Structure 1
Amino acid sequence: MAYDTLVGELTDLAKLAGHEIMKIYATDFTVDYKDDESPLTQADRVSNRLILDYLRDNYPDVPVVSEEGPHIPYPERQSWPRYFSVDPLDGTKEFVKRNGEFTVNIALVARNFPAFGVIYAPAMEMLYWGGKDFGSFKQFREFAPQRIHTHKAAEGEGLRVLISRSHPCPELEVFLEDLPVEQRIVAGSAWKFCLLAEGKADIYPRMTPTREWDTAAGQAIVEGAGGSMTTLDGQPLVYNRQTLVNPGFIARG
């Protein structure tokens, strides 16, 4: 799987899915709700179908785990050496609120860690991609891509902290009491990882539940930009575990 080919194909795929999402965004769309009361729209379904069809046609030997795809039991996937992790519309709540903070997330997970990720924010026309072994980049519309880097705060320096727009929690407030917080940046979806990766924030702590497809692409991009992401106790965040629900994590510049 050649890296240059992967970049070209997955970034184009994310943008194509984003284009279809924006068509629906411009309409008076309806909202359904899943069993867990999270919203679901036609944009989620259309984007999911487009991405999964493309990946299955062009990467038939690489399995796919998607938020809107079928449930795959752990015994079936536990021996996978690699797979795609997909969130066809991350931040559906933000999509419904029409605040523009929603993304398309596509990641390649290899040996239980995100190797490469793409995040596209279609309402902002911003594209991000990268991985730990490749560096990370951003591109606005069709302008030239730019290499991006995280900002490593010096000891005692005030921190710009990313806060989830739709998932605040008391535990986070307790955690922040011990940090020199200079600014709180409230944002939705995997867009938060993009802000961290390009140095516009310093830390993103998360205590409320996320799933692998919420974080895989973002983790790859943050690490490619020089940052890190661990569990709350400093251990590596491992993927393709028995549960696809992540533990709490801290992403740092």
Structure 2
Amino acid sequence: MDEKARKDLVESLLPVVRAAGAAILAHRRTPLPFRFKNDASPVTVADLESEAIIRRTCAGLFPAIRLVSEEDASSYEAGIPSTCLLVDPLDGTKEFISGREDFTVNIALIENGAPSAGIIFAPALDRMFFTSGSGKLVVMDHEDTREILGGVVADQRAQPLILTSRSHLDPHTAEVVKHLQSTNVRQVGSSLKFALIAAGEADLYLRLAPTMVWDSAAGQALIEAAGGVVLRPDGIRLPYLAEMKNEGFVAACTISLAERVLMLIRSLRNTGPPD
């Protein structure tokens, strides 16, 4: 897909994502029953309504592009196609159920096994982050819009602002964060962590336990558009090929910060925690 087609696709998706967000918010102030899926994660009617809006609209707008979504198991039985729309209709369901604001709607365009465009919308905050992969990130806060050109975001804080998962902080990740010795650590739910790094409002997010591809794809597109990186623990760019899970990642505003963290991860794995 060329740059213009990618830009047109993203612009067509923005009202779709807003409509999905509005459907989620309609359930926010009422008691919401939920059930647990096979992986023990919760799902609500808000997840399913958001999924239905996105799937129905994308089928009309982009009939030739396969849609792979968290809430439709049949869409990923055969893995990820090389080109597809990868969707999480409500990322941060636990935060949503608990009444917090840090939940999102995620859509990424995957081309040749990599995210080439992405959208993250935080409906409760009315914050939209998107890129069509042209080295530019757009951030919409209510009525304000700003652009971030690739390479502008940099780790200029005296101590990097590290974001960790509110609901899924695993022991390995916690150990690495502890050894980074930063007093600047904040818990945030959902893919909003990626968006905050891309927007220059945080510096680092690491997750060293398995995650699903729809948890990271849109966020990776945003961070890379802003000049940052999302790497596997072995230093390779996080891929989107056949597997639905990845084994963890380091998302950082600069390659230098990512390399510093990867060096620490390797050190802890090889020698154990230092004295």
TM-score, normalized by length of structure 2?
A: 0.84
Aligned length: 248
In structure 2, distance between residues paired with 1:94 and 1:139:
22
Question: Which residue identity is paired with 2:171?
Answer: P
Match of 1:62 among 39, 61, 65: 65
Describe the SS at the equivalent of 2:230.
Answer: strand
CA pair 226-197 structure 1, distance change in 2 beyond 3 A: same
Deviation at 1:177, TM superposition (A): 4.1
1:67-87 per-position Cα deviation (integer Å, ceiling 9, x unaligned): 00133466x556x34100000
Number of the residue aligned with 2:163: 162
1:189-216 per-position Cα deviation (integer Å, ceiling 9, x unaligned): 0010111111111111111221111111
**Is residue 249 of structure 2 the alignment partner of residue 246 of structure 1?**
no
Match of 1:39 among 37, 42, 46: 42
Question: Which residue identity is paired with 2:23?
Answer: E
Number of the residue aligned with 2:259: none
Question: Which residue identity is paired with 1:250?
Answer: V
**Is residue 155 of structure 2 the alignment partner of residue 153 of structure 1?**
yes
Question: Taking every aligned residue pair, what percent have the same amino acid on both sides?
Answer: 35
- How big is the alpha-carbon RMSD for the aligned residues of Structure 1 and Structure 2? 1.9
TM-score, normalized by length of structure 1?
A: 0.91
Describe the SS at the equivalent of 2:74.
Answer: coil
1:7-39 per-position Cα deviation (integer Å, ceiling 9, x unaligned): 221111111100011011122221111122211
Deviation at 1:131, TM superposition (A): 4.5
Residues 29-38 or 209-218, more deviating = 29-38
In structure 2, distance between residues paired with 1:34 and 1:53:
23
In structure 1, distance between residues paired with 2:113 and 2:134:
15
1:154-187 per-position Cα deviation (integer Å, ceiling 9, x unaligned): 6x94221110000112211322244252400110
In structure 1, distance between residues paired with 2:199 and 2:222:
9
Question: Which residue identity is paired with 2:246?
Answer: N
Alignment check: 8 A CA contact 1:151 1:200 kept: no
Alignment check: 8 A CA contact 1:66 1:86 kept: yes
Describe the SS at the equivalent of 2:84.
Answer: strand
Alignment check: 8 A CA contact 1:109 1:115 kept: yes
Structure with more helix by fraction: 2
Residues 101-140 of structure 1 mapped to structure 2, 5 A cutoff: 101-140=102-141
Question: Which residue identity is paired with 1:130?
Answer: T
Residues 63-212 of structure 1 mapped to structure 2, 5 A cutoff: 63-72=66-75, 76=78, 80-141=81-142, 143-148=143-148, 151-153=153-155, 157-212=158-213
Contiguous gaps of at least 5 residues in structure 2: 254-275
Question: Which residue identity is paired with 2:12?
Answer: E
Question: Which residue identity is paired with 1:202?
Answer: D
In structure 1, distance between residues paired with 2:122 and 2:175:
31
In structure 1, distance between residues paired with 2:7 and 2:124:
26
Question: Which residue identity is paired with 2:53?
Answer: L
Contiguous gaps of at least 5 residues in structure 1: none
Describe the SS at the equivalent of 2:26.
Answer: helix
Alignment check: 8 A CA contact 1:157 1:180 kept: no
Number of the residue aligned with 1:7: 10
Describe the SS at the equivalent of 2:211.
Answer: coil
**Is residue 31 of structure 2 the alignment partner of residue 28 of structure 1?**
yes
In structure 1, distance between residues paired with 2:21 and 2:175:
37
